[in-house]
Chain A
Amino acid sequence: MLQKLGRIPIGLTLPALAILLVVMGIPMVRLFLASINAPAFSLSNYQAFFSQPANVRVLFQTIEVSAVATALCVIIGYPTAYLISAAPKRLQLTLIVLVLIPYLTSFLARTYAWVVILGDHGLINTLLLNGGVISSPLPLIYNRMAVYISMVHIMLPVMILPLVSVMMGIDKSLVAAARSMGARPSAAFWRVFFPLSMPGVRSGSLLVFVICLGFYITPAALGGLRDAMLSTFIASQVQTSFNVARLAASAFILLAVAGVVLSMIGLDLSDTQGRTAQRTQRARQRRLPPFGALRRYFGEGADHYRAKRWMANLYQAGREDPWSILEILYIILVMTYLLLPGVVVIIMSFSAGTYLEMPPSAISLRWYRSFFQDPSWNGAAWTSIQIGAMVTILSTIVGTLAAYGLSRTSSQLRGSLTMVLLAPITFPSIVVAIAAYLGLVNLGLIGTRTGIVLSHSIGAICYVVVIVSATLATFDRRLEQAAKSMRAGPLQTFMRVTLPLIRPGIIGGAVFAFIHSFDEVVISSMVSGFSIRTLPLKMWENMRNEIDPTIAAVASLLMLLPILWLGALYIFWWRSRPQLQSVATV
């Protein structure tokens, strides 16, 4: 069976495509048909959407908030990435890890951290009140400002990582060359480095913008009533009146905005090079980071030649001058912004009183005890772990097969199939959630574990496909031919040669698949049918009702997870590095 499928590589993508089609594809088509009142074709649902000023306001607000957040991410992220890419190797690694930690941390936990910091009884107000600076709490939370602060905080790593990866790939000797031709440092930067770094800016911005468009939890938790995003709006529509046609129209409007912006940014910046090549490349860039960035970073040195060149680049690198005091301050500020909220939550979680304090007046583990003793908490955690494990197993197998199949098909087919397969992470999450809801309704799987596992897996498969594909791209196919010339059959070749060599990528994919499932709340809230309570659902419920400080302990524990992930990735990527070095280029 497997051997036969192996002959037709495209066949290996079938399991992934089947899951995607059943859980999301068919419902998407049906949603679209519903939105145009098929078979009686009409645009009445769209007209109804636009005839309500409130809807239009929410739509523009969504675009505005996403655009501003993206712009802020570029403004803060670009200099940060530049400084990181120019840092000495040790420091560079440290800084990248510091960016990775928030990136790998549960975004619910990070959203919660901002509630704790900005809230009326939060860190800032408490400090100011205690210091006698103010007499009543400042309105720091439930406004647009709070939304921006937390959104940018959450999205910043997503911007920085692809930027760093592109910037590290820029041959610094080009800048040196420009200088040798008489360009002043600033001219060398703007004329050479900046244009070369544009692909990173483009892919980072696209990614950030699209994710922001689908933001739902963070604006709902930190914004005021008037800061609703389209996702929030759609979600509330689901809860109040489940009018499929109206809902479908809203979802497709959101999707259309994402599509229009993506193609606009894509078109504007395209230059005159080979068009198809450009397009596939752009499509890849849009989707690969930050995982590509991550993978590439850890895979740096996977290729001996590249590593050598890289070191040479560092050597000539360019920046003779060490960081100035200003630059050091800037980096410290950005890192504080990224990491401090987590630290605050961890410290506050040790509060002994009945509510959280900063700094805690006495230290206790009561909230941790509460977490481990309260069955509604530890039960939710256990459920999430089990679901995460199942998602990881399913999506790692299915995703690896798909990535392997994709790597063996013609590049044209590969491009479009990859695009299709990655829809669950490129579409705004609320759209995916609604589609998955309908899909699971059809299957009768609402409120079942199987249902949740399937709905998480469509996204998790994307991460596996992206990361394993990146690994396969550096895999030397002649090794497989060599094995076959030594009488190894297709299955033996895969098990003995291919699999061991792409294992780091598979492990990476598995880690991301688990993180995706373990942190998922939007889709889960749709498909859990109130009968299954995952940890993020429990946290989200808790954040909305502000009842139980146990969530601080949970958030703190979640913040320690990235260290586990980084450890795992380190072991499998970094340590396997010497083996991965391409023999050919020594």
Chain B
Amino acid sequence: MNVHVRNRIQSREDQVLESSLVPTQIEFRNVSKSYGAVAAVRDLSLSVGRGEFLTVLGPSGSGKTTTLMLLAGFEAPTKGEILIAGKSVGSVPSYQRDQGVVFQSYALFPHLSVRRNLEFPLEMRGIKAGERLARVDRILQRVHLGELSDRMPVQLSGGQQQRVALARALIADPPVLLLDEPLSALDRNLREEMQGEIKNLHQEFGITTICVTHDQEEALTLSDRIVVMRAGRIEQTNTPEALYDRPATRFVASFLGEANFLESPFFEIESDPPQPVDTVPMIRPERLGITTLTAPRKPDADRRHAVTGTVDDMIYAGPVRKYNVRVGNCVLVVREHVTSGQHTFQRGDEVRLDWLRSDVRFVAG
């Protein structure tokens, strides 16, 4: 039932995506992976287009790393098969898959200098010393590490190590780049800077990239497409905007951003066209308007739905203000951009909440 609903929503979106897709580079066909009794990945099917930047997002333990390791060849699927450039790679060992991998901890070789680390993939491909030198110099420039080439990895800062790891993954021009939470060890500022850097490198090299993260902001900013995983399964796949705007399930809606579920019959949400019974109406906090009870009617009031409630709490968070408003037996979160001359509500104030009926989404419950 739920699954059925989800599949319907899913397939509709997949059709949209499919048509716009470039040739497929990577394909998972009904891949499962279990470690003894633990099913880390279940029946996963996914295709990634050439040059696409795909982010795998999900809570801890949802099977993201496992998915990546399956693709990199460090683990073998229990069931199903993986195709790279149309060929099944079941029997291809990891060292023949031609992928750049950036590990969560970077995995720089601690006994080799930055230059020797970068040379490693070239040496393994039998590239001559002269050309190696040139290519290392080129990539070092590209990631702004020219002056650090003789340092050992321990002598680098976290961000520098990260760039070396990225450079090392890219230097041999692999057709596929795999990133496992590449930015998780960095502080916020550095992370944002590195996000920009990764995005640039991706655009420049046009390399098919799969990036694992559980940072939703990172996923939204970097990706062409996001895969949301939950307990080893794909919950939904779509572009960042579509995923945020039209989450297929309750899980995706609340995992990616915040969501108000208008479940109580009290809200009298009528849907047009009618939705299946097991869907739940949902609205994002920023789509809710908050006004005093006495405020004048808005011009588009006939397209809006309104309820009254009491402010439970106000949270000031820099550019936005968040209200928790009790409506009946529910609490709705309202997010409002801070502007000058705005009325600020206090705890206990009676308020009116309203929203455009078209902003309500129906998600599988």
Contacts and interface: CB of A to CB of B under 8 A. Distances in A.
A485 B94 contact: yes
Contacts of B97: 485
B154 A586 contact: yes
Contacts of A586: 154, 156-158, 161
A55 B54 CA distance: 77
Given A485-B101, A486-B120, A586-B154, A501 B110 contact: yes
A481 B103 contact: yes
A100 to B, nearest CB: 26
A485 B95 contact: yes
B240 interface: no
Nearest to A485: B101
A583 B154 contact: yes
Interface stretch (A148-156, A328-336, A573-581): A573-581
B153 A484 contact: no
Greatest chain B CB density within 10 A among A479, A487, A497 is at A487
B95 A487 contact: yes
A578 B124 CA distance: 26
Contacts of B99: 485
B107 A479 contact: yes
Contacts of A478: 103, 105, 107
Given A482-B103, A492-B124, A583-B154, A487 B96 contact: yes
A255 interface: no
A304 B73 CA distance: 30
Given A304-B154, A579-B154, A586-B158, A487 B107 contact: no
B120 A582 contact: no
A482 B111 contact: no
B108 interface: yes
Interface residues of B, number: 36
Contacts of A496: 120
B355 interface: no
B161 A583 contact: yes
A483 B120 contact: yes
Contacts of A489: 93, 95
B124 A488 contact: yes
A579 to B, nearest CB: 5
Contacts of B108: 482, 583
B153 to A, nearest CB: 5
Contacts of B178: 485
Contacts of B98: 487
A488 B110 contact: no
Contacts of A582: 105, 110
Nearest to B153: A583
B172 interface: yes
A582 B153 CA distance: 9
Contacts of A54: none
Nearest to B73: A484
Nearest to A581: B154
Contacts of A500: 111
A400 B120 CA distance: 25
A483 B107 CA distance: 9
B161 A485 contact: no
A140 to B, nearest CB: 54
A583 B161 CA distance: 8
A278 B5 CA distance: 49
Contacts of B121: 486-487
Contact of A583 (B94, B106, B172): B106
A543 B236 CA distance: 81
A485 B177 CA distance: 10
Interface in A243-258: none
Given A484-B74, A484-B95, A485-B99, A584 B105 contact: yes
Given A501-B111, A586-B154, A488 B105 contact: no
A581 B107 contact: no
A6 to B, nearest CB: 11
A482 B124 contact: no
Nearest to A584: B105
A546 interface: no
Given A479-B107, A492-B124, A584-B106, A486 B153 contact: no
B168 A578 contact: no
A498 to B, nearest CB: 10
Chain A: interface size category:
20 to 34
A201 to B, nearest CB: 35
Interface in B119-165: 120-121, 124-125, 152-154, 156-158, 161
B100 interface: yes
B72 interface: yes
Contacts of B255: none
B106 A481 contact: no
Contacts of B172: 486-487
A283 to B, nearest CB: 23
B163 to A, nearest CB: 13
Contact of B120 (A488, A501, A581): A488
A282 to B, nearest CB: 25
A493 B120 CA distance: 11
Contacts of B94: 481, 484-485
B109 interface: yes
B105 A481 contact: no
Interface in B214-269: none
A476 interface: yes
A229 to B, nearest CB: 48
Nearest to B100: A485
A500 B109 CA distance: 10
A486 B106 contact: no
A482 B100 CA distance: 9
Given A485-B95, A487-B125, A479 B154 contact: no
A481 B110 contact: no
A479 B124 contact: no
A496 B103 CA distance: 19
B110 A487 contact: no
A479 B153 CA distance: 13
A481 B101 contact: yes
B37 to A, nearest CB: 14
Nearest to B95: A484
A493 B107 CA distance: 13
A345 to B, nearest CB: 42
A570 B27 CA distance: 52
Interface in A531-586: 578-584, 586
B31 to A, nearest CB: 19
B207 to A, nearest CB: 14
A579 B101 contact: no
29 contacts: A476-B107, A479-B110, A481-B107, A482-B101, A482-B108, A484-B74, A485-B72, A485-B94, A485-B100, A486-B95, A487-B98, A487-B172, A488-B95, A488-B120, A490-B95, A496-B120, A497-B109, A501-B109, A578-B154, A579-B110, A579-B154, A580-B110, A581-B154, A582-B105, A582-B110, A583-B107, A583-B110, A584-B185, A586-B157
Given A484-B74, A486-B124, A487-B121, 7 more contacts: A476-B107, A484-B93, A486-B100, A486-B120, A501-B111, A582-B105, A584-B185
Closest 4 pairs between A and B when the two form their complex, measured CB to CB: A584-B105, A486-B121, A482-B107, A485-B101
Interface of B: 72-74, 93-101, 103, 105-111, 120-121, 124-125, 152-154, 156-158, 161, 168-169, 172, 178, 185
